[in-house]
Amino acid sequence: MTVTETHCPYCALQCGIALTPEIPRVRLEPTEFPVNRGGLCAKGWTAAELLDHKDRLLTPLVRKDPADRGSPLREASWDEAYERIVAGIERCQREYGPDSVGAFGGGGLTNEKAYTLGKFVRVALRSASIDYNGRFCMSSAATAANRALGVDRGLPFPLEDVAQARTVLLVGANPADAMPPSMQYLDAGRAEGARHIVVDPRRTPTAAGAYRHLQPLPGTDLALANGLLHIAVREGLVDEDYIRDRTTGFEGVRAAVAAYWPERVERMTGVSEADLRETVRLLATERPSMILTARGAEQHSNGTDTAQAYLNLALALGLVGRPYSGYGTITGQGNGQGGREHGQKADQLPGYRRLDDPAARAHVAGVWGVDPDELPQPGKSAYEMLDRLGTDGGVRALLVLASNMAVSAPHAGHVIERLRALDLLVVSDIFLSETAALADVVLPTAQFAEEEGTMTNLEGRVIRRRMALPPPPDVRTDLQFLSGLADRLGRGRFFSDDPRTVFDELRRASAGGIADYAGITYERIEAEQGVFWPCPAEDHPGTPRLFADTFPTADGRARFVRVEHRDPHEMPDRDYPYVLTTGRNMQQYQSGNQTRRVSALTVSLPEPRVELHPDLARRLGIADSDMVELSSRRGRAVFRARLNPGIRPDTVFAPFHWGGDQAVNLLTDPALDRHSKMPAFKACAVAITKGTPR
């Protein structure tokens, strides 16, 4: 039997797995790849179930009556599917202009597919309308890191460095549930006496194992960071030499944090002054130390400034660029890192270049063989695009790859309405997701074990996804779909469906950019167990650790940015008196389109549970396992209750992996961060009532 070494299809850890095609099912085992070192979580162990799942899409589907979205989907040939797509695109562009046709991508696409999708929209459609679900995931941390450090690479050091840190501050991060094999690094540090402090309104498994758990009110993480820096300044813990030699802008920040005295921050956040003082003293004195943020801190209407506040703290303590120290953000989606580097963002070209930069346009247009003036200008961000689907000036025809926004977008009820208003919705997926169920045309796409390509994990390590078996006969890769569609639009000469050819073009397009892949080849990735970008030449070793000597900014210095606490966009009031925050369960991944179909995972967790404190439950007459209805200004959702003494009594938590009336995003607030356009997923106001049994 041929054994193929590749990677788990799910999260950004990209654990190594070995696949052996066997009858009746592909055998899946972990490998000793450097990130997981033989470990896998329940999702990874069961990933092979996806390959021959009974729900698998095996042929294209189209509406029986093309003019009636309510008519049933029926099987169709690829030719018929293409005819419907091309007719819809041409009609929309004729009637409403080029930008009326757009695409929505995903952080699960391989680098080759993300790159091709961005190029397809700009070159084949000549449209500005593209963004992706990473806007809902990493955009705030990415914006802050670009602003402060001149580059956005989630972890600017290998994961193994975490094990060497004596102090780790984890803010809004729950790796014990989100990516369990990564806990081996935290556990190894703890076994050597390291102290970990977790900031989370809920006592997660990560918090339960930590040295200290701080439980702020959701939406106050920025005030907490400024409070920590205030104490550091007052106690002489900041690294004045580092600030002088390697940064700019500290005086403005020093002045700003003067107003965040500990008693005030304790009132704002609910975290005691003693815990604040202990935390910053450990970070400053028990070194090496590092600060890691994740979505709990970042998915807010002030998410960029919140990530910036922790960057300010890390810089002031002189952590960034020192061994086993620094600031990092923990990427979520499988290719969340590579997915945001190669041009599927509304404002971006490959190599992490800006679409509004004339030099970047000229370089990429040269690689693509088009005139720079032909390239559109930046388009709308993800929610701004979804909010206007089917309206005057909005997108009328949408291609969706690797995304299920009917479940994962904020204010999901509104997004579903907008999807229904489209003239043409085309969804490529492996299963009939909630979004695909609304589509005019559904395309069956190849899975992780059926395609070649590259992914970039949370460390910036570029790795190979390898084919272990061919896709079913009528299933195509997204590269085949896009190049075939480009062909039918008369632009086929610009596109290839061969991953290696696309990667070689991506290398040239990224050359000289921030995310420089020029020196990375498929052969090197295989030989070296992944290559860290930037890697500008084939004889360059790659860059596992950034910032040791300089920052990729104009003056080589990191930048402090003054940031101030603002209340969340929506605060509790008489009608909606509680704060809702959202997050992950260990058994599920993203919108659950894949993991909700895996039997072992659904047996272990068949439905979402809303977590609330026993004191709050008692006041509301709710017992454990009762049905509970949550309502916000935007909608209602129904969950079974789980009483959790480890959550703040003013806060409830619900996971985001389910659709229908269990979709927590029916409730969430689409208020956008002004810098990153990240919605405020992690704090909105809700009412709670005891519901009726399902």
36 vs 651, beta carbon nearer ligand SF4: 36
DSSP annotation of 87: H
> The dihedral of CA 281, 283, 286, 287: what is its sign?
negative
Count Cβ neighbours within 10 Å for each residue of 115-146 and write b for 16 or more, e otherwise: bbbbbbbbbbbbbbbbbbbbbbbbbbbbbbbb
275 vs 451, beta carbon nearer ligand SF4: 451
36 vs 348, beta carbon nearer ligand SF4: 36
Tell me the pairing of strands 348-349 and 578-583.
unpaired
CB of 280 to ligand SF4, least distance (A): 31
246 vs 584, beta carbon nearer ligand SF4: 584
146 vs 587, beta carbon nearer ligand SF4: 587
Please state, as a whole number, how many other Cβ atoms lie within 10 Å of the Cβ of residue 504.
16
Please state, in angstroms and rounded to a whole number, the distance separating the CA atoms of residues 337 and 154.
Answer: 7
CB of 557 to ligand SF4, least distance (A): 35
Q: Given the rule CB under 6 A, which residues bind ligand SF4? A: 8, 10-11, 13-15, 36, 40-41, 43-44, 179-181
Closest CA to 161 of 188, 197, 181: 188
116 vs 204, beta carbon nearer ligand SF4: 204
What residue type is 147 in one-letter code?
R
> Across the chain, how many H-helices and E-strands are there?
23, 30
Please state, in angstroms and rounded to a whole number, the distance separating the CA atoms of residues 218 and 650.
Answer: 10
560 vs 656, beta carbon nearer ligand SF4: 656
81 vs 458, beta carbon nearer ligand SF4: 458
CB of 526 to ligand SF4, least distance (A): 19
Please state, in angstroms and rounded to a whole number, the distance separating the CA atoms of residues 495 and 300.
Answer: 38
CB of 40 to ligand SF4, least distance (A): 4
Closest CA to 343 of 122, 149, 89: 122
402 vs 427, beta carbon nearer ligand SF4: 402
Closest CA to 429 of 465, 460, 400, 458: 400
CB of 181 to ligand SF4, least distance (A): 5
CB of 334 to ligand SF4, least distance (A): 7
CB of 16 to ligand SF4, least distance (A): 9
Which runs of consecutive H residues, i.e. helices, occur in 338-494? 358-368, 382-387, 405-408, 412-420, 478-488
CB of 405 to ligand SF4, least distance (A): 21
Closest CA to 192 of 157, 176, 168: 168
336 vs 670, beta carbon nearer ligand SF4: 336
Nearest residue (beta carbon) to ligand SF4: 44
Closest CA to 558 of 376, 316, 269, 280: 316
CB of 28 to ligand SF4, least distance (A): 10
Contact status, residue 357 vs residue 365, Cβ threshold 8 Å: no
> The dihedral of CA 256, 261, 267, 272: what is its sign?
positive
Contact status, residue 250 vs residue 561, Cβ threshold 8 Å: no
CB of 408 to ligand SF4, least distance (A): 17
